[in-house]
Amino acid sequence: MPQQLISKINGVDIVTVDRDGEIFVPIKPICEAIGIDAKAQRAKLQEDEFFASTGAIITSVAADEKEREMYCIRLRDVYGWLATINPGKVAPEAREAVTRYRRECYDVLYEHFTGSMRRTIETNNAEIELLQQINSAISDEKEAKGRRKKAEETLGKLRAERLNPQPCLF
């Protein structure tokens, strides 16, 4: 299985494994890098309905350069899994990074969901502004038509008087 180095965490190489076009990441090196028990994390992932359906045992080259079967999860799911890790259970030197990572994940989620709501509100406000402009233009058109009609009537009377040979006494 082709592997690719994607990161180095606390001196530990984090690699991906391609299996049938899907990219997976062994969890053990990540667990070792942040100082949590890989077996406990694997159990947690396998008990989780979502992660259990996406995890797989894949042969990968371990840190000792030997091929080993490793429990892996899809790369696309690693970020969500890392957000579930309790910073209080990681190695002290990784605690701040894990805490910061979780905060960033929650900020991204907040921005994603409230951002779409904010965009909807902004779009609605823009639409209201445009409708008000259209309404104002329609009102201006009605006033202009009224002024035009009055001017045309006055012009018609003026022409009628000019063309009427009858003298007007009053």
Q: 3-85, what's its fold?
A: Mlu1-box Binding Protein; DNA-binding Domain (3.10.260)
- CB neighbour list of residue 168: distance below 8 Å, 6 or more residues apart: 161
Helix, strand, or coil here: 7? strand
pLDDT surpassing 70 at residue 170: no
pLDDT of res. 10: 67
For the chain, what is the mean pLDDT?
85
pLDDT of res. 17: 85
pLDDT band at 127 (very low <50, low <70, confident <90, very high): very high
Q: Is 18 exposed, middle or buried (0-12, 13-18, 19+ CB in 10 A)?
A: middle
pLDDT of res. 123: 87
The 10s digit of each residue's pLDDT in 58-104 is 887 666 677 878 899 999 999 999 999 999 999 998 899 999 999 99
Query: Distance between CA 6 and CA 24 in Å, rounded?
Result: 11
pLDDT of res. 5: 64
Give residue limits of the domains in the chain.
Answer: 3-85, 91-161
pLDDT surpassing 60 at residue 1: no
pLDDT surpassing 60 at residue 122: yes
List Cβ<8 Å contacts ≥24 apart for 75-78. Answer: 75/6, 75/16, 75/23, 75/24, 75/25, 76/23, 77/50, 77/51, 78/25, 78/30
Note if the pTM is more than 0.85. no
